[in-house]
């Protein structure tokens, strides 16, 4: 029998294409806003030039700048929309699961502005979470403007989010996996074909506004053989334990903020103070820090500096994120994973040189495994690290470590760092996708 539902797939496919182009513009706009904020708050100038807080020499004044950014984000959340608080992806997941994929239109504007203020004043986050959230909000908005069903709005939301990830990281395959694993909660062609079209559009247009090279241009890594893959599989279990610990700590800190005798509007400013203090001790803990990831995997940082970045960025990120400010989790998790992998690789090179374990490969594997264990988006994690670095020869150790990290993390904590918040509200987050009866496919 002819199924009259499928012609409507042309609607989502057609809308996904311009949505992908708009996501590229949104991604570039957010990065420009971040540079504008960095230049203004750290250097006192109005400029759109690339800038990083690391170049400033403000001494103890660094403590005040992230606190000011946190205060501004708190005010925006209080009087604009509380929806701008948080990582970005969990909020999109919640709207899909509970609100028929309806994201308030103001989030499309307020989320990138709040993220630019948070990151531009030194917040230790990545821009990817806010961009993914903004792209998703734009897709949801488009679905609300048109006579679209709940399913179609979800597809458009996922399309915008995936296109945003492609725009910022040039990782189209990982973006599609992210949409399937974290937003669509299903695996069927009529859902992910529009996502693919949005991602393709974003990928085609990206070089017009972004460099064509990989986001993390690292030196080629070396994979010795099957013994190396087995070692990385074993170390993946360690990353799984650490991922579970990170997830538990973040929500312990959130619980601590809940007990403070002040309104939540002030929490991001308190978290900002912690960011500033850590910045005084290690200035490279401030800001997005993509350079930290590239240089760690390339082996161009000293062991002491890697440890310093790991410790102070983790402290500032966990406290600040727990305060409910606006920022992403992906770049910090990648930073921690690269640093931890670098330390593991250094240990093997020093004490077990016969294994021929390259510390650059170990850092690459650590990135993927920490992300996989914390987010439970296992395919996204593996594909993302390979695409964003261009090191596809490391596919076997990366997949092996992601698998063991996922298994151990899932055994230790029930929910991921992305789903714990909404699970605490009594919302069931699917983690497995199984076929459903045709009558249930709406």
The per-residue pLDDT for range 172-230, each reduced to its tens digit, is 999 999 988 888 888 888 888 999 999 999 999 999 998 888 888 888 887 767 888 89
Contacts of 265 (CB under 8 A, 6+ apart): 74, 75, 77, 78
The Cα 293–Cα 361 span in angstroms is 13
Residue 35 has pLDDT above 70, yes or no: yes
pLDDT at 433: 65
pLDDT at 280: 93
Helix (H) / strand (E) element for 184: namely: none
pLDDT at 3: 46
Residue 441 has pLDDT above 50, yes or no: no
Average pLDDT over residues 76-93: 75
At 279, the pLDDT band (50, 70, 90 cuts) reads very high
The Cα 19–Cα 144 span in angstroms is 14
Range in 75-79, 86-90, 123-127, 322-326 with the lowest mean pLDDT: 86-90
Contacts of 193 (CB under 8 A, 6+ apart): 9, 13
φ/ψ of 261, rounded to 5, equals -85, 35
pLDDT at 442: 46
pLDDT at 86: 67
Domains of the chain: 7-208 (1.10.3080.10), 226-423 (1.10.3080.10)
At 88, the pLDDT band (50, 70, 90 cuts) reads low
pLDDT at 111: 79
pLDDT at 435: 55
pLDDT at 440: 45
The Cα 202–Cα 208 span in angstroms is 10
Residue 274 has pLDDT above 80, yes or no: yes
Mean pLDDT of the chain: 86
Which 3 state secondary structure label does DSSP give 86?
strand
CA nearest to 309, candidates 83, 436, 58, 124: 124
Average pLDDT over residues 36-49: 91
At 53, the pLDDT band (50, 70, 90 cuts) reads confident
pLDDT at 284: 92
Percent of the residues in the chain that have a pLDDT greater than 90, as a whole number = 42
pLDDT at 87: 64
The Cα 36–Cα 42 span in angstroms is 10
In DSSP notation, 285-310 reads: GSS--HHHHHHHHHT-S-HHHHHHHH
Residue 301 has pLDDT above 80, yes or no: yes
Residue 137 has pLDDT above 60, yes or no: yes
Q: CA-based angle 330:33:214, to the nearest 5?
A: 45
The Cα 314–Cα 330 span in angstroms is 13
The Cα 240–Cα 93 span in angstroms is 23
Higher pLDDT, 383 or 185: 383
The Cα 23–Cα 135 span in angstroms is 6
pLDDT at 434: 61
Higher pLDDT, 427 or 440: 427
Q: For residue 359, what are the CA distances in angstroms to 40, 50, 141?
A: 38, 30, 45
């Amino acid at each position: 029998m002819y199924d009259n539902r499928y012609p409507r797939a042309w609607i989502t496919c057609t809308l996904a294409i311009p949505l992908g182009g708009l996501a590229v513009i949104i991604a570039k706009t957010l990065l420009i806003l971040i540079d504008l904020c960095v230049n203004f708050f750290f250097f006192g100038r109005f400029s759109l030039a690339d800038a990083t807080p690391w170049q400033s020499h403000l001494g103890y004044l660094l403590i005040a700048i992230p606190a000011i950014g946190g205060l501004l984000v708190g005010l925006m959340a209080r009087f604009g929309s509380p929806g701008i608080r948080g990582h970005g992806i969990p909020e999109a997941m919640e709207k899909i699961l509970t609100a028929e994929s309806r994201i308030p239109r103001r989030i499309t504007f307020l989320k990138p502005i709040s993220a630019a203020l948070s990151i531009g004043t030194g917040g230790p986050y990545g821009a990817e979470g806010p961009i993914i959230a903004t792209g998703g909000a734009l897709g949801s908005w488009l679905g609300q403007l048109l006579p679209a069903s709940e399913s179609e709005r979800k597809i458009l939301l996922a399309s915008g989010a995936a296109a945003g990830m492609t725009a910022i990281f040039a990782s189209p395959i990982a973006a599609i996996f992210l949409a399937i694993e974290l937003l669509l909660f299903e695996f069927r062609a009529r859902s992910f074909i529009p996502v693919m079209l949005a991602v393709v559009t974003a990928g085609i247009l990206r070089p017009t506004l972004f460099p064509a090279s990989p986001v993390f241009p690292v030196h080629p890594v070396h994979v010795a053989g099957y013994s190396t893959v087995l070692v990385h599989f074993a170390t993946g279990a360690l990353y799984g334990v650490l991922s579970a610990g990170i997830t538990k700590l973040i929500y312990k800190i959130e619980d601590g903020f809940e007990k403070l005798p002040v309104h939540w509007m002030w929490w991001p400013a308190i978290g900002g103070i912690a960011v500033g203090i850590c910045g005084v001790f290690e200035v490279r803990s401030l800001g997005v820090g993509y350079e930290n990831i590239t240089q760690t995997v390339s082996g161009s940082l000293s062991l002491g500096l890697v440890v310093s970045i790991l410790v102070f960025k983790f402290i500032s990120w966990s406290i600040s994120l727990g305060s409910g400010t606006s920022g992403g989790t992906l770049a910090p998790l990648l930073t921690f994973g690269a640093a931890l992998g670098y330390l593991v690789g250094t240990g093997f090179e020093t004490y077990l040189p016969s294994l021929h374990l390259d510390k650059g490969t170990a850092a690459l594997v650590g990135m993927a495994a920490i992300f996989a264990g914390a987010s439970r988006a296992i395919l996204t994690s593996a594909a993302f690290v390979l695409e964003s670095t261009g090191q596809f020869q490391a596919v076997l150790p990366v997949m092996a470590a992601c698998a063991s990290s996922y298994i151990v993390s899932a055994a230790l904590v029930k929910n991921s760092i992305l789903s714990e918040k909404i699970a605490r509200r009594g919302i069931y987050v699917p983690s497995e996708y199984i076929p459903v009866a045709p009558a249930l496919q709406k």
